[in-house]
Structure 1
Amino acid sequence: MTQSVGETELGHTPEMVPQESGAEIRGRSLWQIALRRLRRDKAAMFGVGLVLFFVLLALLRPLLDLIAGVDPFTFDASSVTSAGLPIGPIGGISAHHWLGVEPSTGRDLMARLLYGVATSLIVSVVSAIVAVGVGVVTGIAAGYFGGWVDSLISRIVDVLLGFPQLLFLIALTPLIANRLNSFGIDSTSPFWRGLILVMVISVFGWPYFTRVIRGQVLSLREREFVDAARTVGASGGHILFRQILPNLWAPIIVFTSLIIPVYITVEASLAYLGVGFVTPTASLGVILQDAVSWSTVVPSYFFLPGLVLFLIVLGFNIFGDGLRDALDPRSSH
């Protein structure tokens, strides 16, 4: 059977356009088709909106704090009672404290949440970049070169995936922090604690992506266009960077978008368990850890950071799912 007119090899049939004299027929690249599909996916665009909303809040945090006249570290004893309860309705909401205050300290909750969103996003994004970067390099090396390189990388991946990761994350974080303290470095500072978290999260994150990339490269290196490049005498570098790597961008981007919300949850979980960021540094996990003891008397203090964490993770997950469908050539959307 012959291929129908207007149907592409990806199985996507573009919209019919009126034929006009001298009209130029323009093809669409895979990325143009994917962007078009993404724009048509209402759920994915909702996820994009949530992600952009929280990213903008994190970027504009200093300006918003300046407008509201608050900061995440200043104690305000006049906003809480002698028992530490916020003065005012719904956790102390007022013209000065737009989302209320933190019990016992009176610190502004909105400023703490904005700071926490920025902290969680920075750690998760940097961890994802490191894990994906190492995974891309090792996955390409294992899949393309094969032999002892593939065996060595695969065994390392098997060993790391065999560890109970959450337990090792909980154990390694204070271990590294104590080692830094022995060298006179304050491991509780936001920079060093963030660096520790990026290290331990990415160490256990890259093996998953190595397996994904390895499988893709094993398939790509046997494709006709790679054989054709070898036939005309293309170098190994040309085949890797001009033939194979461009075909890996779709899984790289999709995996990154889906792994970021996982790392946001991991960072919050470690802080909640007391081995992540520590007060006065604000992160969503630190706020939730402190909010548990006040949840029965000030439920808004527990509800607001929980809602923020839920919406961030939801936004990234919906966006990642939509991006995966948009980049799938077999999708009928």
Structure 2
Amino acid sequence: MTGRRFLRRFARHRLALASAVLLASLTLAAVAAPLVEAALGVDQTAVSLLDRFAPPSAEHPLGTDELGRDLLVRLLYGGRVSLFVGVAAALAAGLIGTGIGLLAGYFGGRLDALLMRVTDGMIALPLLPLLIVLAAVDLTRLGVPPSWAGAEDASLLRIVVLVALFGWTTVARLVRGATLSARRRDYVLAAVALGAGSRRIMLAHVLPNVAAPAVVATTLTVGNVILLESVLSFLGLGIQPPLPSWGNMLTGAQDLVTTAPWLAVWPGLLIFVTVIAVNLLGDGLQDALDPRTLGRA
């Protein structure tokens, strides 16, 4: 499928197009967090007890939190963390799942049986309870240097690694199924007859033609990862303060719902909107990449 045809088909899915624009806007706003911070003349880490729970104003467009920190700027910095975790973990899980599915589907036999049994075992594990247990493990007891285990980014990287290690199963199954079909196609059989090696056939002929389900599944995983990060942070096992994320901002606001409800409304609303937009984007990509609708372009 050409890029122009894909864009034309994707543009017909109005909700997916609007979701893509919304996600791009949120990403740009998160990237521009330091610029917004400088323009407002505030410091998102500075505590000012005299400015606690300040209402919206020119200096603080969304008001301040329980420590007098600017809420808008912290939401933007929290978006950087939450969006990074969602995208990085989903991409890592997608790469692992694509590799496993490609190997299992192309070579088949015992390798396929082994990899699929491993996949079945991973699917049988309860993901959220498992992540809660592993997120609570003291890294220093595993031989990790205390300086690294206590670093500000350690909790962020831990969630990315955990989700990547346990969240690849859906992509693996989808890619395996598509590979089983693709390896019987004429262009693959022709490459085999011409003496092309397995690695070249998988990367040059099979992978480009099975990428669509992997792309869609990876896109949908982003929303799930953001929700998982939010749950873990809400339980105090995810992104650790002072590094802000939408999840731990909800955690900090749970005791203030009656006195300062906006502290919970804004991060909760951003999580909700982002997850819905990612799911709608995935639906649009699925329709645009579906080979059964090629003739309708």
Pick the TM interval, shorter chain.
over 0.9
Distance in 1, Cα, partners of 2:138 & 2:290: 41
Corresponding residue for residue 271 of structure 1: 233
Alignment partner of 1:170 is 2:142: no
C-alpha distance 214-199 of structure 1, shift in aligned 2 (>3 A) = same
Q: Which one has the largest radius of gyration?
A: 1
Counterpart code for 2:40: A
Distance in 2, Cα, partners of 1:256 & 1:188: 30
Distance in 2, Cα, partners of 1:223 & 1:251: 18
Distance in 2, Cα, partners of 1:79 & 1:245: 56
Q: Are the aligned partners of 1:181 and 1:187 in contact in 2 as well (CA < 8 Å)?
A: no
Give the alignment of 1:135-146 within 5 angstroms: 135-146=97-108
C-alpha distance 267-129 of structure 1, shift in aligned 2 (>3 A) = same
- Which residue among 199, 202, 213 is the counterpart of 1:251? 213
The CA deviation string for residues 234-266 of structure 1, in whole angstroms up to 9 with x for no partner, is 222332122101102222222221111111111
- Which residue among 162, 168, 172 is the counterpart of 1:200? 162
Corresponding residue for residue 33 of structure 2: 61
Show structure 1 runs of 4+ deviating over 6 A.
none
The CA deviation string for residues 121-180 of structure 1, in whole angstroms up to 9 with x for no partner, is 111111112111111111111111112211221121111111111101000012153536
Offset of residue 63 of structure 1: 0.6
Q: Are the aligned partners of 1:180 and 1:187 in contact in 2 as well (CA < 8 Å)?
A: no
When the two structures are superposed, what TM-score results if normalisation uses the length of structure 1? 0.84
Name the structure with the higher helix share. Answer: 2
Identity of paired residues, percent? Answer: 36
Unpaired segments of 5 or more residues in structure 1?
Answer: 1-28, 81-85
Alignment partner of 1:46 is 2:18: yes
Q: Are the aligned partners of 2:230 and 2:247 in contact in 1 as well (CA < 8 Å)?
A: yes
Distance in 2, Cα, partners of 1:183 & 1:39: 50
Give the alignment of 1:42-191 within 5 angstroms: 42-80=14-52, 86-87=53-54, 92-103=55-66, 105-179=67-141, 183-191=145-153
Counterpart code for 2:258: T
Q: Are the aligned partners of 1:72 and 1:282 in contact in 2 as well (CA < 8 Å)?
A: no
Q: Are the aligned partners of 1:226 and 1:243 in contact in 2 as well (CA < 8 Å)?
A: yes
Distance in 2, Cα, partners of 1:64 & 1:211: 43
Counterpart code for 1:59: V
- Which residue among 275, 283, 290 is the counterpart of 1:321? 283
Corresponding residue for residue 34 of structure 1: 6
Q: Are the aligned partners of 1:197 and 1:267 in contact in 2 as well (CA < 8 Å)?
A: yes
- Which residue among 169, 186, 192 is the counterpart of 1:224? 186
Distance in 2, Cα, partners of 1:190 & 1:65: 20
Unpaired segments of 5 or more residues in structure 2?
Answer: none
Counterpart code for 1:298: A
Corresponding residue for residue 274 of structure 2: 312
Offset of residue 77 of structure 1: 1.6
Offset of residue 209 of structure 1: 1.3
C-alpha distance 176-249 of structure 1, shift in aligned 2 (>3 A) = farther
Distance in 2, Cα, partners of 1:156 & 1:180: 24
Distance in 1, Cα, partners of 2:229 & 2:113: 32
Give the alignment's Cα RMSD to 1 decimal: 1.7
Counterpart code for 2:241: T
The CA deviation string for residues 287-319 of structure 1, in whole angstroms up to 9 with x for no partner, is 001111101111111111111111111221111
When the two structures are superposed, what TM-score results if normalisation uses the length of structure 2? 0.94
> Matched residue pairs, number?
295
